[in-house]
Amino acid sequence: MDKVWSSQLKKGLVELAVLAALREREAYGYQLLQRLARNPLLSTTESTLYPTLARLAEERLVAVRQATSPNGPPRRYYRLTASGQEHLRQLSEYWRHLSSAVNELLE
Amino acid sequence: MNELTPQLRARIDAHLDAVEQQLAAANVPREKRRAIVDDLETQILDMIDKDRPASDADIDAIFRRLDPPEAYGKYSSPPLAAPNPPPADLSEPRVCPDARKGACCIALAIVSQLAGFLGFFVAAGPVININSAQSPAPPNGGWYPEPHPWAKLFLLILAGAAVIAPIAGTWLGWIAVERIRNSAGRLYGLGFAAIEALLYPLALAWIAGFMIWYFIIVAYYDRPEVPNRGRAVCYIGGSCTSILFSVLLIWLLASFTRPRQNSSTPPGAPPLSGNAALL
């Protein structure tokens, strides 16, 4: 039950985590998965991440470029667009409001 | 690069096909399906050990670490997504500030136009009196008295306000309508804003509608005095044209201020997205 609850909560935050992970530099899907997995609390699965990336690309919050890979098909590198950066700023602001409101309740 | 045997390649392709089928069943558009599957393929190939030839056991181990294809079935494209996350604007619903400013401009426009109109007659009063039969002839061989310089300055300011305020009020009205319609209920005052946005454009449209027909009729009869039938045509044509212009203006306002896709949040809030679709 606990696991389901935390999983649901985390999934709601995937978008924020992905945008934040792309803030510094571009990454391809698997690289991003590994980048997020460095913190177990943010670790997500590919069936959640890749659809999220596809949606963010469709909404032009991230731009995609293809680059050759030594292992096979070209890799799709994702980077934040200007509107993606603005969206990240707004989401971060909202997250801070939300977390402080929840913290206030918990204290 | 580690070459895969055709059998292993076929197994990977089968897995990718299964994922794509799940996405297709969830109504995910083809382009997005390809993007997701391409990312997954890159991951699988990256996970394969490059130092030695891959085996069935390696592929099995990789598949065990991956989500099963069925996990992609829960994904739905944004149109089918669940409701969006709450807006970031945590403030109470309030009147749109632009609508308030626009209302001030429109009020200023009306007052300045009325005052200018009245002021003109006050300033030009002596002229009117002089022209009337009861008044004496203008002094100094026919020159009418000049209005006081302060009165001229006042009229000039009123004239400026009477021209600029309606433009500003209309502009703010359009902005306000757009913001209110995109605010998901956080801003109100849509009726006010719509009146601001349309009051002067509609007035101009009606004036233009009748003027067009007046000139058409005068040109048709080739004299300024037109018979009753011509007047009736002028009224009917002017009314129809004005109504047409009005409908066009309202349609333009509705189109230009249409809520943006994925943006039922107010200005300043994160654009809505299908994050909840993943839940």
Q: How many helices (H) and strands (E) does chain A have?
A: 5, 3
Q: Tens digit of pLDDT for each residue in B229-242?
A: 888 888 898 899 99
User: Given this model, what pLDDT does residue A92 score?
Assistant: 93
Q: Is the domain defined by A2-106 classed in CATH 1.20.120.530?
A: no
Parse chain B into domains and list their residue ranges: 6-80, 94-278
Residue B72, CA distances (Å) to A6, B26, B220 in order? 19, 8, 72
Confidence (pLDDT) at B127 = 54
Q: Give how far Cα B16 sits from Cα of B8, B45, B77, Å.
A: 12, 12, 19
Whether the CB-CB separation of A73 and A1 falls below 8 Å is answered with no
Average confidence (pLDDT) over B130-145: 56
Please state the pTM of the whole predicted model.
0.48
| Cα angle: B124, vertex B130, B135; to 5 degrees | 135
Can you tell me the mean pLDDT for B245-259? 86
Q: Contact B40/A33, CB-based, under 8 Å?
A: no
Name the closest residue on chain A to residue B89, using Cα atoms. A94
Instruction: Give the model's pLDDT for residue A62.
Output: 94
Joined tokens for residue B22 = 């799940």
From A50, A52, A91, residue closest to B40, measured CB to CB: A50
Substitution target in B8, B43, B48, B75 with the highest count of A β-carbons within 10 Å is B43
In this predicted structure, the answer to whether residue B69 has a pLDDT above a threshold of 80 is yes
> Which contacts (CB < 8 Å, 24+ apart) does range A64-72 have?
A64/B35, A65/A26, A67/A28, A69/B42, A69/B45, A69/B46, A70/B1, A71/B1, A71/B2, A71/B42, A71/B45, A71/B46, A71/B48, A71/B50, A72/B1, A72/B41, A72/B42, A72/B45
> CA Rg, chain A, in Å?
15
Closest CA–CA distance from residue B179 to any residue of chain A (Å)? 17
Q: Which residue has the higher pLDDT, B277 or B46?
A: B46
C-alpha distances out from residue B163 to B100, B111, B159, Å = 19, 12, 6
Going by C-beta distance under 8 Å and a sequence separation of 6 or more, which residues neighbour residue B27? B76, B77, B80
Choose the mutation target among A32, A34, A45, A71 for the interface with B, i.e. most B CBs under 10 Å: A71
Residue pairs between chains A and B whose CB atoms are closer than 8 Å: 117
Q: Is A68 on the interface with B (CB under 8 A)?
A: no
Average pLDDT over residues B40-52: 85
Burial readout B102-127 (b: 16 or more C-beta within 10 A, e: otherwise) = bbebbebbbebbebbeebeeebbeee
What single-letter amino acid sits at A52?
Answer: T
Q: Which residues pair with residue A63 across a beta bridge?
A: A79
CB contact under 8 A, A71 and B45: yes
The mean pLDDT value for B179-196 works out to: 82
* Cβ-Cβ contacts under 8 Å, A59 against chain B: 262, 271, 273
A4 and B279 Cβ atoms separated by less than 8 Å: no
The rounded mean pLDDT for chain B is 77
DSSP state of B69: G
The interface predicted TM-score of the complex, written ipTM, equals 0.85
Cα–Cα distance for residue pair B196/A1, rounded to 1 Å: 55
pLDDT single digits (tens) B2-33: 578 888 889 999 999 999 988 988 888 888 88
Residue B257 predicted with pLDDT over 50: yes
Q: Tell me the domain boundaries of chain A.
A: 2-106
Strand-strand pairing, A72-80 and A27-28? antiparallel
Longest dimension (CA), chain B: 117
* Segment B189-217 mean pLDDT: 88
The predicted pLDDT at position A6 comes to 78
Judge whether residue B136 has pLDDT over 70. Answer: no
For the ranges B103-107, B118-122, B222-226, B258-262, the one whose mean pLDDT is highest: B103-107
Question: pLDDT value at position A9?
Answer: 79
Q: Residue B76: its pLDDT value, please? A: 52
- B217's enclosing H/E stretch is helix B190-221
Write the pLDDT tens digit of every residue in B74-129: 765 443 333 344 444 545 678 888 888 888 988 888 888 888 777 666 666 555 55
pLDDT at B138: 56
Nearest to A71 among B31, B32, B46 (CB): B46
Comparing alpha-carbon positions, the chain A residue that sits nearest to B69 is A47
What is the percent of chain B where pLDDT is above 70?
74
Residue in A closest to B91 by C-alpha = A97
Question: From first to last of its 107 residues, what are the pLDDT tens digits of chain A?
Answer: 556 777 777 777 889 999 999 998 999 999 999 999 998 888 888 988 999 999 999 999 999 999 887 767 788 999 999 999 999 999 999 999 999 999 999 98
Q: Note whether B196 and B169 are within 8 A (CB).
A: yes
The pLDDT of residue B268 is 44
Q: Report the half-sphere exposure of A31 (CA within 13 A, side-chain side).
A: 12
